[in-house]
Structure 1
Amino acid sequence: MLLLLIPADVLRPRRPDEHFASEAAAAREAGMDVALVDHNALTRADGAEEAVAKVRSEGEAVYRGWMLRSEQYAAFDEALTRRGVRLRTTTEQYQRAHELPGWYDALAALTPRSAWTTGDDRAAFDKACGELGSGRAVLRDYTKSMKHYWTEAAYLPDLSDADAAWRVASRFRELRDDAFTGGFVVREFEELTAAEVRTWWVDGQCRLIGPHPDTPDDTPPADLDLGGLAPVIARLGLPFVTVDLALRADGGWRVVELGDGQVSDRPSTLAPAEFVAQLTAA
């Protein structure tokens, strides 16, 4: 039976974090084992062993919790392995799904044109902007944007204005602080006309189609065609991922983001029992 790993509540460590409590309850009702891990300990360089101290079960496991840096996930994986627990998603698979450079090439025809840096220096940023030429773009790092700070830290009105673009990048870097991951990613701006749709994939098959967590009440279109996307996701060979899609102004569906399903948020309108059932469907 699959083991579900859930972050513990910070103030009540014997209980699951409130954000994931409904998934933990649904998993137990489905007959799954549930174990709690200390997320705060996982974020410390030497905290992985402490984080998994309450994991007593062995076997295959899936994590459902807060985002982890790739090196944190690697330490988590190693600590669990020493306890006889094997994460369904390996460290290499997690990084490929979690960081844009890991999945971009496979999805390049289906997602906005992008260029990125390694690190945060200006020369590399200017070079990445130059690869896209001129026009509008959106900025992020390998794992996250700052879209809620749209004009000051996400949107680049004109890539040919290098100084203005760098001001946005500098603000983005300031806001991301210690969470900044990998480098800057510059993505060509595409006009989108509808709310994003979040799709959930287990072993290369789409198991659920639902709204994005930011717009949980927006029902995805019934005629969403994943025929062109499905073989691409299958070839990636990733056990559990999400793919966020949005409709472009010309009527084509575009991939906005691919992420590891373990750390992708579930919209409040997607029933926990239905969600958990798909984790064990493969």
Structure 2
Amino acid sequence: MYLLYPSDPYNKTAVDEAFAEEYAAVSTLGLPCSLFSFEDFESNEFRAKPALPTGSDVIYRGWMMTPDVYVRLVEAVTAKEAYLVTQADAYRECHYLPGWYSLCVDWTPETIFADKGADFVKLVQGKQWPAYFVKDYVKSLTTQRGSVAESPDGIAEVVTLIEQYRGSLEGGVCIRKFEELLPETEERYFVLNGKPFSRNGTVPSLVHEVAKKISSPFFSVDTVMAKSGELRLIELGDGQVSDRKKWEPEQFAAILQSQS
């Protein structure tokens, strides 16, 4: 396993500050790492330092990118005769909610997918949901307004605000049935090579079941307890671009080492 991190925008010999603690932790465990300039990559130039060894299995740990941009990263790494462990189809499957929803529908809120210009009121007609949680394929609205629409008429407002505050709407619109959840119980797990990991050593059965359904070699699983007492799946993400949340960098580094 070979790890690929973005460099500092102003110093290509240093890791980006956002990943410094994790980079130090994996380096301490002896996991080989390379840096590349994300800014140069955006300009169609890719150069890893040190160079990726020929035939190496590479895991990227860095900023989110659209599936189309990720295809370019796969191509850039392949051109260096190395191999990104997560290929483009697997990245899309976990990065975009529609990619994993049908596989995990039993554990996650009911969801309608739409284009941004759709008639949202018509789409939810007859649903009788208590409210509507609105997001794009990747993220929700994190301003004080939040992503919940109390009525069908409010869905378009949230979509507009996502575009306004995030600059664009990625992929499309997800309208999810609002459920009463306990946000303080939210927990992130990682699945690497089919094996689920937790920061506290306990992996719930739901996460094990999800791990059996998803083909990606490296992804994150977010769960939260509903007020009803049922554990719910609220999000999947590609493991390469998922932040650690409550995980200490040493804990995260240890799961990478265990599969190297």
Could you tell me the TM-score, scaled by structure 2's length?
Answer: 0.90
Shift of 1:193: 2.0
Counting aligned pairs with the same residue, the percent is 29
Answer yes or no: is 1:204 the counterpart of 2:213.
no
Matched residue SS, 1:80: helix
Answer yes or no: is 1:89 the counterpart of 2:89.
no
Q: 1:130 to 1:13 in 2, by over 3 A?
A: farther
Shift of 1:32: 1.9
Answer yes or no: is 1:5 the counterpart of 2:4.
yes
Answer yes or no: is 1:273 the counterpart of 2:253.
no
Structure 1's unaligned 5+ residue stretches are 211-221
Report if the CA contact (8 A) 1:23-1:276 is conserved. yes
Cα distance in 2, alignment partners of residues 199 and 3 from structure 1: 21
For 2:199, give the aligned amino acid. I
Report if the CA contact (8 A) 1:203-1:234 is conserved. no
Shift of 1:63: 0.8
Matched residue SS, 2:70: helix
Q: 1:9 to 1:131 in 2, by over 3 A?
A: farther
1:121-136 maps to which residues of 2 (within 5 A)?
121-123=117-119, 125-130=120-125, 132-136=127-131
For 1:121, give the aligned amino acid. G
2:102 matched residue in structure 1: 105
2:180 matched residue in structure 1: 191
Cα distance in 1, alignment partners of residues 15 and 6 from structure 2: 6
Q: 1:228 to 1:54 in 2, by over 3 A?
A: closer
1:6-85 maps to which residues of 2 (within 5 A)?
6-42=5-41, 44=42, 47-48=43-44, 50-54=45-49, 56-58=51-53, 59-85=56-82
1:253 matched residue in structure 2: 231
Shift of 1:18: 1.0
Q: 1:128 to 1:40 in 2, by over 3 A?
A: farther
Shift of 1:141: 0.4
Aligned length: 256
Report if the CA contact (8 A) 1:139-1:156 is conserved. yes
1:158 matched residue in structure 2: 151
Could you tell me the TM-score, scaled by structure 1's length?
Answer: 0.84
Q: 1:137 to 1:238 in 2, by over 3 A?
A: same
Matched residue SS, 2:86: coil
Shift of 1:25: 1.8
Report if the CA contact (8 A) 1:16-1:36 is conserved. yes
Shift of 1:38: 1.8
Cα distance in 2, alignment partners of residues 165 and 28 from structure 1: 46
Shift of 1:131: 7.1
Report if the CA contact (8 A) 2:29-2:257 is conserved. no
Shift of 1:109: 0.9
Shift of 1:274: 2.4
Report if the CA contact (8 A) 2:67-2:91 is conserved. yes
1:220-235 maps to which residues of 2 (within 5 A)?
226-235=204-213
Q: 1:137 to 1:241 in 2, by over 3 A?
A: same
Shift of 1:53: 4.7
Q: 1:17 to 1:167 in 2, by over 3 A?
A: same
Q: 1:237 to 1:131 in 2, by over 3 A?
A: farther
1:171-190 maps to which residues of 2 (within 5 A)?
171-178=161-168, 180-190=169-179
Report if the CA contact (8 A) 1:205-1:234 is conserved. no
Q: Which has the higher helix share?
A: 1
